[in-house]
Amino acid sequence: MSRPIPSLAADDHILGTPSFSVTLVEYGDYQCPYCGEAYPVLKAVQRAMGADLRFVFRNFPLVEVHAHALRAAQFAEAAAEAGLFWEAHDMLYENQDALGDRHLEAYADQLGIDRAILAAAFEGRHDEKIQRDFLGGVRGGVNGTPSLFINGQLYEGPPEPESLISVLSRAATTRV
């Protein structure tokens, strides 16, 4: 049985409407190839579930194995500061093979993120939030990425749309 993950916080990255039926939380690493494989699956799940799903992304950079994971998370948080988190999130997963500083700076320019915001992020402005996401995941039993939680419970099924949608749909109908 999994341990509880932290409740949603004001600085969580949340996609969905207030009328959601079920919450899916991903602890992810932008450089993780398994997260990259899960990205289109989660997009398909989001499309299928529509307004019934609230999707939350939390940073879980595996810095010991992914050299660019922290920088990518810092970039995403800089984008969040500029109101462009989901655009950056998608850009990072769609360009996993190009996450060096020069690439991130080019992505910032493409998205219109001020270079001063990006520089502050690279100097640690959002590191406390990234660390809080990471430690919350560790306390909740996350030991790899991607880790998915449905209404706070660890999802241990196959990473495919049909299975996820089935479990999410059941969770949505049993929501109190």
CATH class of 13-169: alpha beta
Q: What is the mean pLDDT of each run of 10 residues along the chain (176 residues)?
A: 83 90 96 98 96 96 97 98 98 98 98 97 98 97 96 92 95 75
pLDDT at 173: 85
pLDDT at 18: 76
State the DSSP code for 15.
E
pTM of the model: 0.95
Position 2 scores a pLDDT of: 59
What's the pLDDT at 176? 45
Parallel, antiparallel or unpaired: strands 153-154 and 22-28: unpaired
pLDDT of residue 174: 79
Q: Which residues of 77-89 are buried (b: 16+ CB within 10 A; e: fewer)?
A: bbbbbbebbbbbb
